[in-house]
Amino acid sequence: MADKKAAPAAAQTQSNKTQKTSFFGKVKNFFKGIGKYFKDTKSELKKVVWPSKKDVKTNTITVILVVAAAAIVLIVLDLIFGGAIHLMIGA
């Protein structure tokens, strides 16, 4: 019976601790979190290995060629299936 009374009392004191944080304390913690975010972001960006201009140019050309090839394949498939449906409908 004592255990049943102790559990709600412990939960109530724990909830009182979380409620005691003032508004200004919350604002201070919020801005502290923002500062930590930018500090961590800056340190992570220092670790990034940026590609050279040659790599960027090569990758850009590759992407453009792949997109163009995919567009051509889709256009051809659209013409084939559109023609087949046109023949089935007879319009």
Count of domains observed in the chain: 2
pLDDT tens digits, residue range 10-48?
A: 555 555 555 677 888 888 888 899 999 999 999 999 999
Instruction: Say whether both 34 and 64 belong to one domain.
Output: no
Write down which residue in 32, 48, 64 finishes a domain: 48
The reply to whether 38 and 75 lie within a common domain is no
Same domain, 44 and 1: yes
Report whether 59 contacts 51 (CB < 8 A): yes
Are 1 and 42 found together in one domain?
A: yes
User: Rounded to an integer, what distance in angstroms lies between the CA atom of residue 78 and that of residue 85?
Assistant: 10
Are residue 16 and residue 37 in the same domain, yes or no?
Answer: yes
By residue range, what is the domain housing residue 78?
49-91
Give 47-83 pLDDT, tens digit per residue: 999 999 999 999 999 999 999 999 999 999 999 999 9
Q: What predicted TM-score, i.e. pTM, was given to this entire model?
A: 0.51
Task: Write the single-letter amino acid at 59.
Answer: N
Quote the tokens at residue 10. Answer: 């412990």
Angle at the Cα of 29 (from 39 to 21), degrees rounded to 5?
Answer: 165
